[in-house]
C-alpha cells in the first residue's frame, strides 16, 4: 500500500519546497490537478508536466495519478453533444499529460445532475462519454477513476456497480472518496468498499467528514477508520491511498506533517 498527497499547484515557485515537505511527512507520491489555472493545465502541460515530474523525482516522489479538474463537471454528462465532445478531447490531453508524468490513473468527475434535465438523460449521457473515453484510455494504457462527489449523481454502490459494469471496460473504474460518502450521508464506507469490490476500485481518497455536514481533516470527523481499513484489506486492495485535503492557509507544512502522521496511523504504515 502506498500513501499519496493530492493537491492543486498554482505557483511554480512553491513546488520544490512543498514536495520536500510531503516526502518528509512520509508520503510516497503526489497527485496534481489538471486545472486551467494550475500546474499542469490543459494549455501548458507539454511544458510543465516534464518539469513537475523532474521535481517530484528529485524529492523522491512518484506521480501515480492526476485529478482531472473542474472542466469535466459541466461537460461529461451534458445534454449538449458539443460539450460532451469537449470532455472527450480534454481526457485525451489529460492522458497525454499523465503519461509524461509516469502516472496510470486519471480521476474524472462524471458530470452532474442539474434541474433542467431528466436523471435518466444524465445517466445515458455520462455512459456515452465514459464509453468513448474508455476506448482512448485503452490506447494510452490509463485507468479512469470516476469519483463520487456532491454532483447529485450515482447515489449508491449498487448504482455505481451497474454503471461501471455497463461500460464493459477494465479502463473505467471508481475513484472512491471515503469522506464524500459520509459528508453526503450516503451510507457506510466499509460497506461501499465491499459492494464495489477490488475489481471496480481504481484508487481511494481519504478525508474525514462530519456526517451530513462537511468533510474535514483526518481524525477530526465521524468516520470509523478501523472499519474502513478492515474492508480495504478484505477485498485485497493494495494500491494507493491518497489524501485529498486543502493545505492550511498559514503554516501549510504543519498540515502536511500532521496529515502524514494521521494517515500512517490509520493505515498502520
* Structure confidence at residue 115 (pLDDT): 86
DSSP SS3 for 202: strand
What predicted TM-score, i.e. pTM, was given to this entire model?
0.97
Report whether pLDDT(236) > 90: yes
Report whether pLDDT(13) > 90: no
* Structure confidence at residue 129 (pLDDT): 98
Say if residues 69 and 32 touch (Cβ distance below 8 Å): no
The stretch 106-126 carries a mean pLDDT of 96
The stretch 227-242 carries a mean pLDDT of 98
User: What is the CATH number for 226?
Assistant: 3.20.20.150
Q: Report d(CA 192, CA 227) in Å as an integer.
A: 11
Say if residues 40 and 48 touch (Cβ distance below 8 Å): yes
Look up the domain containing 96 and give its range.
Answer: 2-267
Confidence of residue 21 (pLDDT cuts 50, 70, 90): very high
Report whether pLDDT(101) > 80: yes
CA 132 to chain centre: 20
Q: How many CA atoms lie within 13 A of 149 on its CB side?
A: 19
* Structure confidence at residue 11 (pLDDT): 86
Number of structural domains (the chain) is 1
Residue that is written with C-alpha cell 457506510 in the block: 188
* Structure confidence at residue 14 (pLDDT): 84
pLDDT tens-digit map of 139-171? 999 999 999 999 999 999 999 999 999 999 999
* Structure confidence at residue 12 (pLDDT): 85
DSSP class of residue 33 equals: B
Mean pLDDT (the chain, rounded) = 97
pLDDT tens-digit map of 33-69? 999 999 999 999 999 999 999 999 999 999 999 999 9
Report whether pLDDT(6) > 80: yes
The stretch 194-199 carries a mean pLDDT of 98
Amino acid at each position: 500500500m502506498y500513501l499519496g498527497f493530492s493537491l492543486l499547484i498554482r505557483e511554480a515557485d512553491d513546488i520544490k519546497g512543498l514536495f520536500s515537505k510531503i516526502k518528509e511527512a512520509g508520503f510516497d507520491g503526489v497527485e496534481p490537478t489538471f486545472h486551467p489555472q494550475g500546474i499542469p493545465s490543459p494549455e501548458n502541460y507539454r511544458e510543465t508536466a516534464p518539469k513537475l515530474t523532474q521535481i517530484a523525482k528529485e524529492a523522491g516522489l512518484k506521480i501515480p495519478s492526476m485529478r482531472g479538474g473542474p472542466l469535466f463537471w459541466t461537460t461529461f454528462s451534458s445534454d449538449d453533444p458539443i460539450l460532451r465532445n469537449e470532455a472527450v478531447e480534454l481526457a485525451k490531453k489529460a492522458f497525454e499529460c499523465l503519461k509524461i508524468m509516469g502516472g496510470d490513473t486519471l480521476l474524472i468527475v462524471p458530470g452532474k445532475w442539474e434541474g433542467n434535465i431528466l436523471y435518466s438523460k444524465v445517466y445515458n449521457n455520462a455512459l456515452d462519454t465514459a464509453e468513448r473515453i474508455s476506448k482512448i484510455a485503452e490506447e494510452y494504457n490509463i485507468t479512469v477513476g470516476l469519483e463520487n462527489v456532491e454532483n447529485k449523481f450515482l447515489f449508491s454502490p449498487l448504482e455505481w456497480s451497474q454503471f461501471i459494469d455497463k461500460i464493459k471496460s477494465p479502463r473505467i473504474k471508481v475513484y472512491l472518496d471515503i469522506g464524500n460518502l459520509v459528508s453526503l450521508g450516503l451510507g457506510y464506507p466499509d460497506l461501499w468498499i465491499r459492494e464495489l469490490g477490488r475489481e471496480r476500485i481504481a484508487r481511494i481518497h481519504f478525508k474525514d467528514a462530519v456526517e451530513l455536514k462537511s468533510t474535514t481533516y483526518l481524525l477530526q470527523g465521524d468516520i470509523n477508520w478501523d472499519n474502513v481499513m478492515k474492508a480495504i484489506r478484505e477485498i485485497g486492495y493494495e494500491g494507493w491511498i491518497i489524501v485529498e485535503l486543502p493545505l492550511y492557509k498559514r503554516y501549510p507544512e504543519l498540515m502536511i506533517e500532521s496529515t502524514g502522521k494521521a494517515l500512517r496511523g490509520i493505515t498502520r504504515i
